């Protein structure tokens, strides 16, 4: 109860998340019933979503706020794909959490060739990168993750990774990183109510894991 969610595709009709106002209204009621009280909407900014830039998403977010009535406090951020257009987006207005942290992701197949340069550029621009769901990047070696952490990259766990939604390998890696204290934040990465209702009850956590998730939830409040 009282959760701040730092990762959700609830801004409808702009990416692969919730697609209509009706779906968004139902999702908001569901998330409210789970106890979510504050949410950062993080639509994809990536080459595959060519319309999504700060100006367009801010306009869509204003419409969202006018159409959705809820006790949840909504904020707009974004999930930036580290792809060939990332450098261009970094030069524009950045949809960050708190003018300091920005959410970034990579492809699930491989890291971008210029990953290290991109991380450098983010920091040189004055932002601290939060890498979304690193447990899903099975291509990424633990040594590389450690190197990123040492450079000041923060990691965000997807809640459904713990339920095995993305496979057993991802679930095991998520639990290892969680117990090692490697994560700073936890998010739903909400895309659809149907998925969430089906998968969420499958999360079984040991006491140590519950305690670790609670710490991340507390940290979410700082964004």
**Minimum separation from the CB atom of position 136 to Fe ion (A):** 10
Q: Give whichever of 79 and 184 is closer to Fe ion, judged by the CB atom.
A: 79
Q: Give whichever of 182 and 189 is closer to Fe ion, judged by the CB atom.
A: 189
Residue 15 sits in the site that holds Fe ion (CB under 5 A): no
DSSP-assigned states of every residue in 119-166? HHHHHHTT-EEEEE-GGG-TTS-HHHHHHHHHTT-EEEEEGGGGGTTT
**Minimum separation from the CB atom of position 46 to Fe ion (A):** 10
Residue 114's Cα: distance from chain center in Å? 21
**Minimum separation from the CB atom of position 207 to Fe ion (A):** 29
Q: Give whichever of 106 and 171 is closer to Fe ion, judged by the CB atom.
A: 106
**Minimum separation from the CB atom of position 30 to Fe ion (A):** 18
Residue 78's CB: how many other CB atoms inside 10 A? 26
∠ CA 47-51-53 to the nearest 5 degrees? 85
Q: Give whichever of 146 and 194 is closer to Fe ion, judged by the CB atom.
A: 194
Residue 189 sits in the site that holds Fe ion (CB under 5 A): yes
Cα 188 to Cα 35: distance, rounded to the nearest angstrom: 13
Interface pattern 61-90 for Fe ion (x via CB under 5 A): ------------------x-----------
**Minimum separation from the CB atom of position 180 to Fe ion (A):** 23
C-beta separation of 79 from 105 below 8 A: yes
**Minimum separation from the CB atom of position 9 to Fe ion (A):** 6
Q: Of 132, 125, 44, 43, nearest to 92 (Cα)?
A: 125
Q: Give whichever of 184 and 189 is closer to Fe ion, judged by the CB atom.
A: 189
Cα 12 to Cα 25: distance, rounded to the nearest angstrom: 10
Q: Give whichever of 138 and 210 is closer to Fe ion, judged by the CB atom.
A: 138
Cα 31 to Cα 140: distance, rounded to the nearest angstrom: 32
Residue 5 sits in the site that holds Fe ion (CB under 5 A): no
Q: Which residues bind Fe ion (CB under 5 A)?
A: 79, 189
């Amino acid at each position: 109860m009282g959760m701040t969610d730092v990762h959700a595709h609830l801004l409808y009709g702009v990416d692969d998340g919730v697609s209509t106002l009706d779906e968004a209204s139902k999702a908001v009621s569901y998330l409210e019933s789970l106890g979510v009280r504050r949410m950062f909407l993080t639509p994809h900014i990536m080459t595959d979503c060519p319309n999504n830039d700060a100006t367009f998403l801010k306009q869509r977010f204003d419409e969202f706020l006018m159409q959705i009535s809820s006790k949840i406090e909504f904020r707009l951020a974004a999930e930036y794909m580290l792809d060939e257009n990332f450098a261009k987006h970094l030069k524009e207005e950045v949809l960050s959490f708190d003018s300091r942290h920005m959410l970034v992701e990579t492809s699930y197949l491989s890291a971008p060739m210029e990953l290290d340069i991109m991380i450098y550029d983010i920091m040189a621009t004055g932002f601290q990168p939060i890498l979304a769901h690193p447990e899903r990047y099975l291509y990424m070696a633990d040594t590389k993750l450690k190197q990123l952490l040492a450079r000041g990259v923060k990691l965000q766990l997807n809640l459904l990774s713990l339920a095995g939604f993305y496979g057993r390998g991802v679930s095991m890696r998520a639990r290892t990183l969680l117990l090692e204290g490697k994560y700073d934040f936890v998010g739903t990465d909400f895309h659809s109510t149907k998925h969430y209702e089906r998968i969420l009850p499958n999360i079984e956590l040991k006491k140590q894991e519950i305690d670790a998730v609670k710490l991340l939830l507390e940290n979410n409040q700082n964004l």
